[in-house]
Amino acid sequence: MPTYPGISSEALRHPLDREAEETLRSLPGFDLVARKFVEFVYERPQFVYNMGNSIEVGPRQYSTVYQIFRECVRDLDITPEPSLFVSQTPLANAYSLGKENPSITLNAGLLDLMEAAEIRSVIAHELGHIKCGHTILIQMALWAISTATYIGDLTFGFGNFIGTGLIYAFYEW
């Protein structure tokens, strides 16, 4: 796999992604509020959860996955190196989280189903989210959808008109 020293996140981004992010970030105070909200509501609690309930991947735990991860981090020129965890969840899924101390969690179900090249693709995809700063925006969008759904439940479905619009906007993004 080729290495791209000094690669910018702009090289990975679709123009519509860039436009959507610029719109959000143009809101006064959005960056600070979103960054701190995600740090304290998602990033720190999830890191503590992973430390207690998941396996931190390293040279002696999931060494093959760790080697793939290190190669992807090098190839995409990501510093500092995010933490990598394996959750014992049987579902095939992965996610990245955090800005200050980013991490990636791979579910064991994903590792059971995929070959090394596929795992590399998943890890590179999640590292791309970290490199492009998507982790904050994704967590804010998920929180907004969750809140809108909750409001919809409290208002006997009336609030779902708002929630549905948010969900479609998120999928479009």
In order along its 173 residues, the chain shows pLDDT tens digits of 677 777 777 777 778 878 877 777 777 877 788 778 777 878 888 899 999 999 999 999 999 999 999 999 999 999 999 999 999 999 999 999 988 889 999 999 999 999 999 999 999 999 999 998 877 777 777 777 777 777 777 777 766 666 666 565 655 55
Is residue 98 classed exposed, middle or buried when 0-12, 13-18 and 19+ CB atoms within 10 A define those classes?
buried
Instruction: Give the Cα separation of 45 and 39 in Å (integer).
Output: 9
Residues 6+ apart with CB under 8 A from 114: 92, 122
Report the pLDDT value the prediction gives residue 57, as an integer from 0 to 100.
Answer: 98
Residues 6+ apart with CB under 8 A from 79: none
Predicted model pTM: 0.78
Report the pLDDT value the prediction gives residue 58, as an integer from 0 to 100.
Answer: 96
Domains and CATH numbers, the chain: 13-172 (3.30.2010.10)
AA letter at 63: S
Report the pLDDT value the prediction gives residue 148, as an integer from 0 to 100.
Answer: 73
Report the pLDDT value the prediction gives residue 18, as an integer from 0 to 100.
Answer: 80
